[in-house]
C-alpha cells in the first residue's frame, strides 16, 4: 500500500479496511499480473483452454433443456412491461434445478462446473434480463457461493439444500451512505449478554432479491479491536433468515432496466441471529465478499457475451435485409464497420468469459485480476456493442419489441436489451472501482519490493535499506523491459496470430515501464490520479484480450476451423489502435483542466438534502400477500411452496 500523507484520517481508515480485506498472497501465477510486470507467462493461455468434452456434454444437455423451457414459458418483454416475474417462472426454475446450479449434488443441487453455470446464465439471459439477474444474485453473491467457500459443515447441511430447493437468497452490503467504502458502514451487530446471539441493527439499500428473499447474507460492523495501539474496524458476515422478528422490507426500488428484479431497502431492528450463523469468522466479512466476487463477477461476462451473440446474429440479418441508396446497409462502409464491431465484440467477450470460467474450474489458479478485468471489459464493451447495434438498427432499435410486433416488424428487443445492459457497468463493482482494484493488484509486486519508500514515517535509514534490497531486483528487471524481446519466445502458431502476440509482448514491456515511471515520479500522488491509473489498467486489459483472442483463434485454425479468423483479425487490429491511443492519452489529456473546473463547480454547487427514508412503511411479506399495489408475492418461505398465481399475473 502506498501511504499518502495527504489522506484525511477518514480516508486512511477506509484504505486500511480495504487493504486488510484483500487477498494478500498469490496462490499461483497470473497472466495479467505477469503482463503488468512486462514478463509475460504464455503458459497460462497457450494453448487456449478447452472445456472438457464430458463436462461440455453435460452443459449442452442442460442448456438445451433450459432454452426449450424459456422459449415456451419465459416472455422477457411481458416481464419487462409488468415488472413481475410470474410465479410460474419461479416454479419452472425450481423444477429445472436452477436455484442450485453450482450447489453440490449431495446437497440437492445440479453440481455444475463454473463453465456450465455461466453457459446456463447466458442461455437465460438471451430471454430475460430480470430473470437472469434474479438467478445470478441468488447464486453468485447470495448465500450458495459464500456458503460453499466459507461455511461450516453444519451451515452447509442446513442451508444448501434449502437454496437448491428454491429458497431465494440475497446479499446485503450497500447502505445509503456506503457503496464501495465499507469502512463507513453503520449496520452493527453485537453479542447478546448471554453470548448466544448477535443483535443486528441497521438498514441496507439496493439488495437484489431482498424483497422476496428467504435468507440473506448481511454485512455488518462488529466490535473494533486494537492493533498496535490503533482501532481496527471489523466487518463480519451473517446468515439471516428473513422470517426472524425485526427484519422488514421497506421499499421496492424501480430501475431503468431489469424492471422485474426484486430489489429493495431492508431494515434490521434488534434482530437476534444465532451465534452459529456468522460466516467465515468475526472480522472476515469483507474477505469473504471479495473472494466470493472472484467467481461472482464472471457471471456478467457470461450474460453480456451471450446477449451479444444474439445481437450479432440479428444485426447480420438486418444488415442484409435493409436496403438503402442502392445497397444493403451492411455493404455501406459505415454499416460494415458497425456490423463487424458487434460481431468481433462478441468473440472478444466470449473468449474472455470462457477463459475466466476455465481458470475457475481449474481451482488452482489465482483469478482475482482476470475475473475483475473480465467484468470490467465485458460490461463496458457489452454496453458499447449494444449501442452500436441499436444505431445500426436505427429507429426500429429505439422502438419496443411489442410495438414492432404489433405492426408486423421483426421484433428483436434491442431497446429492452440496451436498458438491461447498462447496469452491468455498476453492479458487483463499478467500472471505476474495478480500475482502482486492478491498479492496486498491478502494483502489488512493486509494493512488496519497494513499498518501504512510500511508508508513512519511514526514516532515511529505512529508505536506504529498502533501496538496497529492491535494487537487486530492479537492476535486472528494468533493463529487460527494453531488451527483453530478444529473450522472449512467443508460442508457435498461425503466423498472423503470432504477429499480434508479438505486439502484445512489446506493448506489455512498455506498459510495465509506464507503470513503474508513474509510481516513481508521482509517488503517493499516483493514488489520486485515477484517470491515469484507469488508462494503464485499460491498456493491460486490452492486451490481455488480444492475447486470448489470438491464442483461441490459433488453436481453432490448428484444428482446421477458420470460422473466427477474419473476426479475430478485425478485433486484433482494433485492439492495436486502441492500445496505442491509450498510451498517447496518458500524456495528452484534459485531466488537469477537469480537476480545476470541477473544483470551481463544487464550490458553486449547493448540497442536496439528506436522505430520509423514515416515512417509508414496511411492505407486507407474508406468503401470498401483496408486496406492492397489485403484485402477488412469489416468496417461497423456507422450504415452502410457491403460492398460486393471481389472475393479474
Averaged pLDDT, 594-613: 93
Q: Could you write out the DSSP letters of every residue in 45-64? A: TSSPP---HHHHHHHHHHHH
H/E stretch holding 190 = strand 188-191
**Closest by Cα among 398, 541, 154, 137 to 129:** 137
420-470 pLDDT, tens digit per residue, is 999 999 998 899 999 999 999 999 999 888 887 767 666 777 777 888 888
Those residues whose C-beta lies under 8 Å from the C-beta of residue 573, and which sit 6 or more positions away, are none
* Architecture of the structural domain at 169-293: Beta Barrel (2.40)
What residues act catalytically? 428
285-314 pLDDT, tens digit per residue, is 988 988 888 888 999 999 999 999 999 999
The pTM of this model reads: 0.92
Q: Does residue 197 register a pLDDT over 80?
A: yes
For residues 340 and 567, what is the distance between their CA atoms, to the nearest angstrom?
7
Hey, do 169-293 and 297-430 end up sharing a CATH topology, with the first three levels equal? no
349-384 pLDDT, tens digit per residue, is 999 999 999 999 998 888 999 999 999 999 999 999
For residues 318 and 324, what is the distance between their CA atoms, to the nearest angstrom?
12
* CATH 1.10.540.10 fits domain 53-165: yes
Averaged pLDDT, 45-68: 96
For residues 399 and 413, what is the distance between their CA atoms, to the nearest angstrom?
9
* CATH 1.20.140.10 fits domain 297-430: yes
Contact 417, 489 (CB under 8 A): no
pLDDT at 605: 96
Q: Does residue 7 or residue 226 have the better pLDDT?
A: 226
Cross-strand pairs, 278: 238
Residue 644: pLDDT band with limits 50, 70, 90: very low
DSSP 8-state code for residue 553: H
pLDDT at 629: 30
For residues 423 and 432, what is the distance between their CA atoms, to the nearest angstrom?
14
**Closest by Cα among 341, 306, 336 to 319:** 336
Is the N-terminal amide bond of 181 cis, ω within 30° of 0?
no
Q: Does residue 527 register a pLDDT over 90?
A: no
Cross-strand pairs, 230: 227
| Residue 566 CB neighbour total at 10 angstroms | 13
CA angle 19, 21, 24 (to 5 degrees): 75
Cell numbers found for residue 571: 478485433
Q: Domain boundaries in the chain?
A: 22-47+443-588, 53-165, 169-293, 297-430
Mean pLDDT of the residues in the chain: 90
H/E stretch holding 222 = strand 215-227
Averaged pLDDT, 570-589: 98
Q: What is the share, in percent, of the chain residues with pLDDT greater than 90?
A: 74
Amino acid at each position: 500500500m502506498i501511504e499518502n500523507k495527504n489522506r484525511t484520517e477518514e480516508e486512511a481508515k477506509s484504505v486500511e479496511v480495504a487493504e486488510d480485506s484483500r487477498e494478500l498472497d498469490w496462490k499461483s501465477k497470473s497472466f495479467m499480473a505477469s503482463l503488468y510486470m512486462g514478463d509475460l507467462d504464455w503458459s497460462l493461455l497457450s494453448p487456449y483452454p478447452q472445456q472438457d468434452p464430458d463436462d461440455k456434454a453435460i452443459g449442452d444437455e442442460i442448456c438445451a433443456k433450459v432454452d426449450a423451457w424459456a422459449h415456451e414459458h419465459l416472455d422477457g418483454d411481458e416481464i419487462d412491461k409488468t415488472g413481475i416475474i410470474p410465479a410460474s417462472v419461479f416454479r419452472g426454475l425450481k423444477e429445472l434445478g436452477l436455484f442450485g446450479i453450482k450447489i453440490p449434488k449431495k446437497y440437492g443441487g445440479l453440481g455444475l462446473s463454473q463453465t456450465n453455470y455461466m453457459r446456463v446464465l447466458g442461455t437465460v439471459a438471451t430471454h430475460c434480463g430480470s430473470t437472469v439477474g434474479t438467478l445470478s444474485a441468488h447464486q453468485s453473491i447470495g448465500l450458495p457461493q459464500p456458503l460453499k467457500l466459507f461455511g461450516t459443515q453444519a451451515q452447509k447441511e442446513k442451508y444448501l439444500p434449502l437454496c437448491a430447493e428454491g429458497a431465494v437468497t440475497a446479499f446485503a452490503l450497500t447502505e445509503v451512505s456506503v457503496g464501495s467504502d465499507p469502512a463507513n458502514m453503520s449496520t452493527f451487530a453485537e453479542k447478546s449478554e448471554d453470548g448466544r446471539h448477535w443483535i443486528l441493527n441497521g438498514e441496507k439499500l439496493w439488495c437484489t432479491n431482498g424483497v422476496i428473499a428467504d435468507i440473506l447474507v448481511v454485512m455488518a460492523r462488529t466490535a473494533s479491536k486494537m492493533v498496535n495501539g490503533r482501532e481496527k474496524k471489523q466487518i463480519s458476515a451473517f446468515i439471516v433468515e428473513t422470517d426472524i422478528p425485526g427484519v422488514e422490507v421497506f421499499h421496492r426500488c424501480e430501475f431503468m432496466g431489469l424492471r422485474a428484479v426484486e430489489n429493495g431497502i431492508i431494515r434490521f431492528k434488534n434482530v437476534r441471529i444465532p451465534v452459529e450463523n456468522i460466516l467465515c469468522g468475526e472480522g472476515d466479512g469483507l474477505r469473504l465478499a471479495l473472494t466470493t466476487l472472484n467467481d461472482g463477477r464472471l457471471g456478467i461476462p457470461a450474460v453480456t457475451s451471450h446477449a451479444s451473440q444474439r445481437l450479432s446474429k440479428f444485426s447480420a440479418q438486418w444488415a442484409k435485409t435493409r436496403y438503402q441508396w442502392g445497397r444493403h446497409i451492411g455493404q455501406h462502409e459505415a454499416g460494415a464497420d458497425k456490423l463487424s464491431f458487434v460481431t468481433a465484440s462478441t468473440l472478444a467477450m466470449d473468449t474472455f468469459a470462457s477463459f475466466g470460467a476455465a481458470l475457475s474450474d481449474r481451482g488452482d489458479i489465482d483469478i482475482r485480476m482476470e475475473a475483475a478485468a473480465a467484468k470490467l471489459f465485458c460490461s463496458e464493451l457489452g454496453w458499447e456493442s449494444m449501442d452500436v447495434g441499436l444505431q445500426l438498427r436505427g429507429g426500429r432499435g429505439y422502438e419496443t419489441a411489442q410495438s414492432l410486433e404489433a405492426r408486423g416488424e421483426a421484433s428483436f428487443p434491442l431497446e429492452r436489451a440496451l436498458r438491461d445492459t447498462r447496469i452491468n457497468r455498476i453492479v458487483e463493482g463499478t467500472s471505476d472501482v474495478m480500475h482502482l482494484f486492478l491498479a492496486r493488484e498491478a502494483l502489488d509486486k512493486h509494493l512488496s519490493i519497494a513499498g518501504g519508500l512510500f511508508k508513512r514515517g519511514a526514516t532515511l535509514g529505512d529508505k536506504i535499506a529498502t533501496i538496497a534490497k529492491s535494487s537487486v531486483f530492479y537492476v535486472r528487471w528494468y533493463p529487460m523491459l527494453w531488451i527483453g524481446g530478444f529473450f522472449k519466445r512467443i508460442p508457435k502458431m498461425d503466423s498472423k496470430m503470432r504477429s499480434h502476440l508479438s505486439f502484445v509482448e512489446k506493448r506489455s514491456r512498455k506498459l510495465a515501464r509506464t507503470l513503474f515511471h508513474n509510481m516513481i515520479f508521482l509517488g503517493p500522488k499516483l493514488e489520486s490520479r485515477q484517470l491515469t491509473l484507469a488508462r494503464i489498467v485499460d491498456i493491460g486489459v486490452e492486451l490481455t484480450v488480444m492475447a486470448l483472442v489470438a491464442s483461441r483463434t490459433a488453436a481453432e485454425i490448428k484444428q482446421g476451423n477458420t470460422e473466427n479468423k477474419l473476426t479475430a483479425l478485425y478485433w486484433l487490429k482494433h485492439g492495436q489502435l486502441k492500445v496505442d491511443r491509450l498510451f498517447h492519452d496518458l500524456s495528452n489529456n484534459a485531466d488537469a483542466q477537469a480537476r480545476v473546473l470541477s473544483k470551481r463547480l463544487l464550490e458553486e454547487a449547493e448540497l442536496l438534502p439528506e436522505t430520509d427514508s423514515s416515512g417509508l412503511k414496511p411492505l407486507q411479506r407474508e406468503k401470498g400477500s401483496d408486496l406492492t399495489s397489485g403484485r402477488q408475492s412469489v416468496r417461497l418461505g423456507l422450504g415452502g411452496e410457491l403460492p398460486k398465481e393471481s389472475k393479474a399475473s
